[in-house]
Amino acid sequence: MKIELAKHLFFSVFASCLLSISTQAQNGSVTVSQDPKFEQLLNEKRRINASITVNDKYKVQIYNGDSENSKKILADFRKDFKQLDATVVFSTPAYKVWVGNFKSRIEAERNLVELRKKYPNAIIVKPNK
């Protein structure tokens, strides 16, 4: 009698577990809600990454020094020269502000003439891969 009661109790618990699992199942669809600004930020990040990649293009270095001053120089540069991309690059032991992404040395030299009016120590660099 006790064995029958134990079997019956085991079967009842097992059946109730199966029923609870089947009633809690998900339907398999997922809805993602994304802020529209996220895509804008992602596009900006892609643009910035493309401009700072080291490649075979020429750049003009307008500053070489510490982190704090490099950020100030970069901010000032962006106010005055909105048409050119610029970035801060760390190369041990100094921070450098690189401007442009010029396809040829001639194009870099043309821009160097204009940049030297405000940044007299500007030089042309060609980063290595």
Distance in angstroms between the alpha carbons of the first and the last residue of the chain: 83
Q: Tell me: the pLDDT tens digits for 14-52?
A: 666 666 665 555 677 888 888 888 888 888 877 776 666
What does the pLDDT read at residue 24? Answer: 55
pLDDT at 122 exceeding the cut of 90 = yes
For the question of whether the overall pTM of this predicted structure is more than 0.75, the answer is no
User: How many whole angstroms separate alpha carbon 118 and alpha carbon 62?
Assistant: 9
User: How many whole angstroms separate alpha carbon 52 and alpha carbon 19?
Assistant: 58
Q: Tell me: the pLDDT tens digits for 44-92?
A: 877 776 666 556 789 999 999 999 999 999 999 999 998 999 999 988 8
Asked if CATH classification 3.30.70.1070 holds for the domain at 56-125, the reply, yes or no, is yes
